[in-house]
Homo-oligomer: A and B are copies of this chain.
Amino acid sequence: MKVDGRQMRPIWLDEISQTVKVIDQRQLPHRLVIAELTTVDKVITAIQDMYVRGAPLIGATGAYGVYVAALNTRVSSNDEAFFLKECDRIKSVRPTAVNLAWAVDTVLAEVSQNETLADKTNTAKAAAARIAELEAENCRQIGVAGLELVKAVSEAKNGDTVHILTHCNAGWLACVEYGTATAPIYAAFEKGIDVHVWVDETRPLNQGARLTAWELGKHGIKHTIVTDNAGGHLMQHGMVDMVIVGTDRTTRTGDVANKIGTYLKALAARDNDIPFYVALPSSTFDWQAFDGLKDIPIEERDPNEVRYVQGDDAGSLRKVLISPPDSSAANPAFDVTPANLVTGLITERGVCRADENDILRLFPEHP
């Protein structure tokens, strides 16, 4: 999407240097810094420390990671077993993000056709680019499908502002283009529908306040940041028309694992009869998972992400301690929203109910 008038993506291959570049999203919205992923360690750091985040972008980064691994193995040991071990390291960085493993495996399957590491490197590069394009196209299609839902609300309100609440960042920064939860919003905005977005700040890492607000603002879309605590109150008072969130992992039965706190918004939406949609590319489906609460492992992250908050102080990025120095914290990164709280799934193949039968109607290749 556009940043200060310039087309930009969160990951790309620099055509001249042939290096993989990403936006270091930890520094947004205060600074736009680009990082070069020249080694596997840098790929892992970028995923682990959340330079890149969001299921589709993590997938694309993993795919490009295989290219980086092949490139570096070729230069160093030229040892196939080492190359595969490097790819395994990339795969296991974030357990909840199912399409990290999917993307790495997809690229690996393609390169397994090649004999030499030189060929594998070229194949991996092309495959990663294709995965990135596929993610962009999936998000465009999610926008096409979700647009109809927003349009229906707008028409029911006689063109009055449609208020959409979203949690975390499932925007183009989390994907490659358009975003997932934001794709219907960008699509509605392009069609001239009057939309306003309630942006949950999304503690602990504030992806809403930092990233969603930044990308919506850069695109000119009306938005208001609220604490994660506020959504229920807004819904009680008729100030939210629909909720759209993303997902990091979705069971075949329609349970969704998304950023911690999503479940609370789904409960509030149900309590106030507000539609709660989850937008996703089908790469986030875990077709082996039937019960989200039992089958999806929840990543426990560094407690210091809770204890410290990063922000800008007169041009400098600083972390401030918000708690007593000797109090401990817990930091589960995701929660599971059961399918019965989900009004519908917005996928690249259209909208379906969050139940196995209706999901398989759109994805019959996974019986």
- What is A's interface to B at a CB cutoff of 8 Å? 29-30, 198-199, 201-204, 206, 209-210, 213-214, 217, 223-234, 236-237, 259-261, 263-265, 267-268, 271, 293, 298, 306-313, 318-324, 326-332, 334-336
Contact = CB atoms under 8 A, between A and B. Distances in A.
Contacts of A311: 308-309, 320-322
A263 B328 contact: no
Nearest to A313: B320
Contacts of A332: 226, 230, 233-234
A323 B230 contact: no
A228 B210 contact: no
B217 A327 contact: yes
Nearest to A167: B229
Copies in the complex: 2
Would you list the 9 A-B pairs with minimal beta carbon distance, nearest first?
Answer: A229-B261, A311-B320, A233-B335, A29-B324, A267-B267, A213-B327, A203-B227, A225-B329, A232-B263
Contacts of A30: 321
A280 B310 CA distance: 35
A319 B313 contact: yes
Contacts of A329: 224-226
25 contacts: A199-B327, A201-B203, A202-B229, A209-B306, A210-B323, A217-B324, A224-B328, A226-B306, A226-B331, A227-B306, A228-B229, A229-B259, A230-B332, A232-B264, A233-B332, A236-B335, A264-B264, A264-B265, A264-B268, A267-B271, A308-B311, A309-B320, A310-B320, A313-B319, A313-B320
A230 B313 contact: no
B309 A322 contact: yes
A323 B232 contact: no
A290 to B, nearest CB: 17
A223 B313 contact: no
Given A29-B324, A260-B233, A228 B228 contact: yes
A293 B236 contact: yes
Contacts of A233: 260, 263, 298, 332, 334-336
Given A232-B261, A236-B335, A312-B322, 20 more contacts: A201-B306, A202-B229, A209-B306, A210-B322, A224-B327, A225-B306, A225-B323, A226-B331, A229-B259, A230-B330, A230-B332, A230-B335, A231-B264, A236-B263, A236-B293, A236-B336, A308-B311, A312-B320, A313-B320, A318-B318
A207 to B, nearest CB: 11
Given A203-B229, A227-B306, A213 B264 contact: no
Contacts of A209: 306-307, 322-323, 327
A197 to B, nearest CB: 11
Nearest to A309: B309
A223 to B, nearest CB: 7
Contacts of A229: 202-203, 228, 259-261, 264, 335
A204 B313 CA distance: 18
